[in-house]
Chain A
Amino acid sequence: MAQHDPTRLAGIFRSTLQRTAWLAAWPLLLAACGGQSIILVADPSGHVGQAEVATAAGMQRLEKSGDMTQTRGASKPPSAVTTADPRSIATTFAEALAIEPPPPLVFTLMFESGTTQLTAASLDQVAEIVAASQKRPAIRIRISGHTDATGSDKINDALSLERATQVRNLLEQKGIPARLMSVTSHGKGNPAIPTPDGVAEPRNRRVVVIVH
């Protein structure tokens, strides 16, 4: 009888062992399927920056659009840099890319020196901001006042905040709901044209309106 055939029995035993080993290996295989892929691409303006991906065991630098590294656990080094397949990017990231918020609209307004009076050209832009915000439609509008690096910080900040508030009031008068807008002063900390401290730069004395 087949049941008493020692080689057959050994065969069944071996195949059971194999099956058990196979089943036991599944969690390991699944773990190996995890891990992360990090891909550098151009930002909406076409600019490609840099990213350094570091685990406890090593680091890889991504420098060109399409550069990709993958990780397989925090204690292993990230993989050597390869080029990501554009088709697999389109598939894997279809949802995230489709929902990507559009780049904000950015407007820069200038003032008559030392006052909260907008220049004539900037005053014209206010109507443009209103139209663009209504068309988008705007979810948030951030208004920031900026100074250059001359004179007293305290006086500069007060003036830049007053100017930003003035812009918010104008936008509200022209129909933008107040709840969408927030106003801050960035002082000299976020210049359009970086200068050393103490340098007069009229182009840095501005209000920036960012429409999201």
Chain B
Amino acid sequence: MKTVARWLFIGLMPWTSALAEPSETIGHIQTLQGDAYVQRAGVDQPAAVGTELRQNDRIRTGKPAAVGIVLTDDTTISLGSNSELALNDYAFEPKQGRFALVLRMVKGTFSYITGQIGKLAPESARVQTPDATIAVRGTKLLVEIKE
């Protein structure tokens, strides 16, 4: 019986560890105009106000369209038409002192306002564009990526 329980436990381990991180909510859609999509594991879902966001999600807007998202540390990003953003890495765990924020702006227009990670651990907040990596300290940034 003990052996069965142990094998069951070992069998479940990779499953639980695989679920632990990516299924966590890291933010949500706060504002929306027109059509926007959240791509998760290669599948596009239409975005709605309140839609939960997870690590590795990609947010895309149509044209004309615009969307505003808020992460759990209050980082705020808004996208204009024909824009695409990837939430590459995120951790906001003040109790464990674990912070990470890597946003990849793929194309379009963006307004980005830093949140609590920008205050508690500014060195871990990064914005990537096709050409550059941007380190941001407690502020707002506007980014345009032409195609």
Contact B118 A49 (CB under 8 A): yes
Interface size on B, residues (CB 8 A): 54
Residues of B within 8 A of A36 (CB): 129-132, 143-146
Residues of A within 8 A of B64 (CB): 95
B13 at interface by CB-CB < 8 Å: no
B139 at interface by CB-CB < 8 Å: yes
Residues of B within 8 A of A84 (CB): 142
Contact bitstring A139-166, B, C-beta under 8 A = 1, else 0: 1101000000000000001000000000
Within 8 A of A (CB), among B84-134: 93-97, 109-111, 113-114, 116, 118, 120, 129-134
Contact B118 A187 (CB under 8 A): no
Contact B80 A95 (CB under 8 A): yes
Residues of B within 8 A of A38 (CB): 129, 132, 134, 141-143
In the complex, A15→B91 CA distance in Å? Answer: 60
Among A98, A99, A157, point to the contact of B95 (Cβ < 8 A): A157
Q: Does more than half of chain A's interface fall in helix, strand or loop, or is it mixed?
A: mixed
In the complex, A36→B69 CA distance in Å? Answer: 22
CB distance from B44 to the nearest CB of A (A): 20
Contact B138 A47 (CB under 8 A): yes
Among B33, B142, B145, point to the contact of A41 (Cβ < 8 A): B142
Interface size on A, residues (CB 8 A): 53
Q: Does more than half of chain B's interface fall in helix, strand or loop, or is it mixed?
A: strand
Whether A99 touches B139, Cβ cut-off 8 Å, given contacts A36-B145, A93-B109, A189-B97, is: no
Whether A35 touches B146, Cβ cut-off 8 Å, given contacts A71-B131, A101-B68, A139-B30, is: yes
Contact A99 B136 (CB under 8 A): no
A123 at interface by CB-CB < 8 Å: no
Among A40, A186, A212, point to the contact of B139 (Cβ < 8 A): A40
Residues of B within 8 A of A72 (CB): 131
Contact B132 A93 (CB under 8 A): no
